Chain A
């Protein structure tokens, strides 16, 4: 069975601090995809990034960066210079199923950024 673990239940930081959200996954598949989604209080899940198992390059998008390490089965997400608008629940997810059309979500990490 595939599994995604987000060990940090809740993180509180002060604005402008950097914060890293951890994600560890388990899978027997050689081809798989990992995702990060943001869920603000309004409820919708906002897609942030998709990474396939063959691409271990780190990625940076503005204040967001992702560190994918197959050796440790981790896909961590860092927000640099956090802002109050970053406050949300962040989910890491892993694709599974014959056609990869099932997302298995981690429990989520609540991020609170205080001004």
Chain B
């Protein structure tokens, strides 16, 4: 079992739906990340939160909206997604906002399918 918990494991939604992905960690980490991973490709960074503030947005479309309610939780709100958004969405956390000091720990991911 990983120490970063993501829910749901699988999600199927229509293009007009609104849904949220959730990520939780209880390791006391102060940096949290969202990645998108297409099949047979490496993960691509989407967002970085450091001390509950958004520090990096990799030019992600506004139909993806991140939220960090507290240091243990990270959400990704989804609205009006496109079929090409179907992917594995991975959450990660690290002790600080510098991955150079500590490695990122990943969750199992949410497999998202857009109909």
Chain A residues engaging chain B, CB cutoff 8 angstroms: 31-33, 35, 37, 42-47, 50, 52, 91, 95, 97, 99-103, 105-108
> Which B residues touch A47, using CB under 8 A?
103-106
Which of A32, A42, A99, A106 counts the most B-chain CB atoms under 10 A from its CB? Answer: A99
User: Is A99 within 8 A of B42, CB to CB?
Assistant: no
Whether a CB of chain A sits under 8 angstroms from the CB of B53 is: no
| In the bound complex, CA of A67 to CA of B107 (Å) | 28
User: Is B56 within 8 A of A103, CB to CB?
Assistant: no
Q: A33-B99, A100-B100 are in contact. Are A44 and B109 (CB under 8 A)?
A: yes
- Residue-by-residue, is B86-115 near A (CB-CB < 8 Å gives 1, otherwise 0)? 001010101001111101111111010000
Stretch at the interface among B14-22, B43-51, B62-70, B72-80: B43-51
Whether a CB of chain A sits under 8 angstroms from the CB of B59 is: no
User: Is A100 within 8 A of B98, CB to CB?
Assistant: yes
Of A42, A99, A106, the contact of B98 (CB 8 Å cutoff): A99
> Which A residues touch B109, using CB under 8 A?
43-44
User: Is A44 within 8 A of B42, CB to CB?
Assistant: no
> Which A residues touch B101, using CB under 8 A?
100
Q: A44-B107, A47-B105 are in contact. Are A106 and B97 (CB under 8 A)?
A: no
User: Is B103 within 8 A of A99, CB to CB?
Assistant: no
User: Is B42 within 8 A of A95, CB to CB?
Assistant: no
Output the least CB separation between A80 and chain B (Å).
23
User: Is B45 within 8 A of A102, CB to CB?
Assistant: yes
Q: Which residue of B lies closest to A9 (CB)?
A: B40
| In the bound complex, CA of A37 to CA of B88 (Å) | 16
User: Is B100 within 8 A of A42, CB to CB?
Assistant: no
